[in-house]
Structure 1
Amino acid sequence: MKPMLSSRPVLWFLFLFNLAVAAVAPFVVDGDQGVMTSVGMGVVSLGAGVSLLRTRG
């Protein structure tokens, strides 16, 4: 499972998909649930982005 999650296409998918969901969630889901969804997806997106920067080059 770890080699699959470390591949660049999967990291790009996690980064972009979670970033898009984090940006849209507060407008689609009302209240605290939308904010917490946005924060959670943002954390996953940042983690994937950091992994992309580490494996660059």
Structure 2
Amino acid sequence: MKTLLSSRPVLWFLFLFNLAVAAVAPFAVDGTQAVATAAGMGVVSLGAGVGLLRDRGKRVSG
């Protein structure tokens, strides 16, 4: 499972999809639920972005 989640296509999907949901959530849902959804999806998106940057560093230097 770790190999699948750390593959570049999956990381790109997680990054872009969760970023889009985090950006649209405040307009689609009202109140606390919008803030919680945007924050949760934003955290997942940032995590995937960090994974992409880490993988990029390995490819450049190695």
TM range, normalised to the smaller chain? over 0.9
In structure 1, stretches of 5+ residues that fail to align are: none
Q: Distance in 1 between matches of 2:54 and 2:2?
A: 16
Q: Percentage identity across aligned positions? A: 81
Match of 2:55 in 1: 55
| Aligned length in residues | 57
Match of 2:19 in 1: 19
CA RMSD of the aligned region, Å? 0.4
Match of 1:33 in 2: 33
Name the TM-score, length of structure 1 as normaliser.
0.98
Once superposed, which parts of structure 1, at least 4 consecutive aligned residues long, lie more than 4 Å away?
A: none
SS in 2 for 1:30: coil
In structure 2, stretches of 5+ residues that fail to align are: none
The amino acid across from 1:49 in the alignment is: G
